[in-house]
Amino acid sequence: MSIMWTPVALSRDVPPLVVLPVVAGGRELALWRSASGRIAAWADRCPHRGMRLSHGFVRGEALSCIYHGWSYGAAGNCLRIPAHPDLEPPETIRVAVHVAAEAGGLIWVAPSAPEAPPPDPGALQPLRSLTVEAGTAAVLSLAGLAGDTLARGHLAGVEVTVAVQPIGPARCALHVLTGAAGAAERIALSRELDALRRRAEAGEMAA
């Protein structure tokens, strides 16, 4: 089976020094950006005692676990164990690292390097992301959007491209991009997205 990219966030929503939990391909990941702007997606599990790295903190180019402060460098290798400051951490202590890339204002992740770069949504502006407690197919059908990872169509009379992130059988996230430049259009589109979420979560079916 070919390896697929999954969109997990708008680039602008993950500024330097931020770490947050995301789900891609059924895996829980800690998505974070270093001080220099490097994006990374790691298994959301500290090699020490399995606590969530997404609760951790970024300092410089390293992510540290909030629980006992073990810190990990760009390759997922353990850099420091505060309880043993003189110890050189063994190479075997490593976080499982996924591939992360940015394209078209979106952050994409994959379990290992896909053959092709992430899909390019074209010259569009990011609008917002929203999580919907409903399955991907039902949401796209209700919205009248066509496509798979990048679904396209019109909402509130405005052309949109939606990067679709399946999270579970009854949950997905939509990362919405649009060519609409005016504030009024963007507000109307955002309201339409909120209405779409309410209808999808109420179990409304496409006509």
Residues that bind ligand FES (CB under 6 A): 46, 48-49, 51, 65, 67-70
Nearest-approach distance from CB 71 to ligand FES, in angstroms: 9
Give the nearer residue to ligand FES in terms of CB position, either 26 or 50.
Answer: 50
Give the nearer residue to ligand FES in terms of CB position, either 23 or 95.
Answer: 95
Give the nearer residue to ligand FES in terms of CB position, either 69 or 114.
Answer: 69
Q: How many CB atoms lie within 10 A of CB 23?
A: 18
Size of the chain in residues:
207
Question: CA-CA distance, 136 to 144, in Å (whole number)?
Answer: 12
Q: List beta partners, residue 98.
A: 41
Nearest to 162 by CA among 196, 133, 185, 187: 196
Whether the Cβ atoms of residue 95 and residue 53 lie closer than 8 Å to each other = yes
Nearest-approach distance from CB 12 to ligand FES, in angstroms: 29
Whether the Cβ atoms of residue 180 and residue 158 lie closer than 8 Å to each other = yes
Give the nearer residue to ligand FES in terms of CB position, either 7 or 56.
Answer: 56
Give the nearer residue to ligand FES in terms of CB position, either 51 or 188.
Answer: 51
Nearest-approach distance from CB 21 to ligand FES, in angstroms: 15
Q: List beta partners, residue 124.
A: none
Nearest-approach distance from CB 88 to ligand FES, in angstroms: 17
Nearest-approach distance from CB 53 to ligand FES, in angstroms: 7
Q: List beta partners, residue 7.
A: 108
